[in-house]
Chain A
Amino acid sequence: GDSVTQMEGPVTLSEEAFLTINCTYTATGYPSLFWYVQYPGEGLQLLLKATKADDKGSNKGFEATYRKETTSFHLEKGSVQVSDSAVYFCALSSYNQGEKLIFGQGTELSVKP
């Protein structure tokens, strides 16, 4: 079945460092891809999305490009801030999965001043 794999965490960075969180997926057809962020004690918030190959989603300085050839949707940010400390989830949705949204296991990011 369809699945999402994220890099293991926790990831610890210094403020203003470059961030990459890897996400790869397995899916038949053409899924939509999402990144969600979860701050401590809160629900998940949609960070960005891409619905077709080569689309780039972006929001709040974060970017991710839908790469069908490598089945990847890596999250990047050029300069992280302490306020970016959170858990990040990659997810996919496809018609093959019906009504379900498939999530990766989450990657915890900690940014130190």
Chain B
Amino acid sequence: SQTIHQWPATLVQPVGSPLSLECTVEGTSNPNLYWYRQAAGRGLQLLFYSVGIGQISSEVPQNLSASRPQDRQFILSSKKLLLSDSGFYLCAWRAQRNTEAFFGQGTRLTVV
């Protein structure tokens, strides 16, 4: 069966520090991969998605970036965090278009 791993679960980082969040999927090949952010009490904001290694689509211009160095690995990064980057970050995967997505457990990021 397929599983998705996301880490760390919680993270407290100072303003201006770098960020690296990692997500890996097991049990499937060539998944579509997604990063979402959820601000407190708000809905989901799609940040990036990827349909293959090295292919990244950005939905929102900001100081975050994403990379997909391997088929089942998706990384969210920042060189310098802002207070406004605080939130709950969720990774998800889909097998193909028009199917359901499966989510990781999320990373709670607090920038102080």
The number of residues on chain A lying at the interface, defined by a beta carbon within 8 Å of a beta carbon of chain B, is 24
Name the A residues within 8 Å of B92 (CB-CB): 44, 101
Q: Which of B12-20, B66-74, B76-84, B94-102 contacts A (4 or more CB under 8 A)?
A: B94-102
- In-complex Cβ contact of A95 among B34, B97, B104 (8 A): B97
Q: Using A89-B43, A99-B51, A104-B43 as known contacts, say yes or no to A42 and B98 having CB atoms under 8 A apart.
A: no
With the chains together, A31 CA to B104 CA distance in Å? 24
Q: Are B106 and A43 in contact (CB under 8 A)?
A: yes
Q: Using A43-B106, A99-B51 as known contacts, say yes or no to A106 and B97 having CB atoms under 8 A apart.
A: no
With the chains together, A32 CA to B100 CA distance in Å? 9
> Does more than half of chain B's interface fall in helix, strand or loop, or is it mixed?
strand
A45 part of interface (Cβ distance < 8 Å)? yes
Q: Using A43-B90, A44-B90, A99-B49 as known contacts, say yes or no to A93 and B98 having CB atoms under 8 A apart.
A: yes
- In-complex Cβ contact of B98 among A36, A46, A94 (8 A): A94
Residue in B closest to A44 when the chains form the complex, CB atoms = B103
- Closest Cβ of chain B: how far from A25's Cβ, in Å? 14
B37 part of interface (Cβ distance < 8 Å)? no
Q: Are A93 and B106 in contact (CB under 8 A)?
A: no
The number of residues on chain B lying at the interface, defined by a beta carbon within 8 Å of a beta carbon of chain A, is 24
Residue in B closest to A48 when the chains form the complex, CB atoms = B100
Name the A residues within 8 Å of B49 (CB-CB): 99-100
B105 part of interface (Cβ distance < 8 Å)? yes
Q: Using A34-B100, A42-B105, A89-B43 as known contacts, say yes or no to A101 and B90 having CB atoms under 8 A apart.
A: no
B11 part of interface (Cβ distance < 8 Å)? no
Residue in B closest to A10 when the chains form the complex, CB atoms = B41
Chain B residues packing against A (C-beta within 8 Å)? 6, 32, 34, 42-44, 46, 49, 51, 57, 90, 92, 94, 97-106, 108
Additional A-B contacts beyond A99-B32, A103-B44 (11; CB < 8 A)? A32-B100, A41-B106, A42-B106, A43-B104, A44-B90, A44-B92, A44-B103, A89-B44, A98-B97, A99-B51, A101-B94
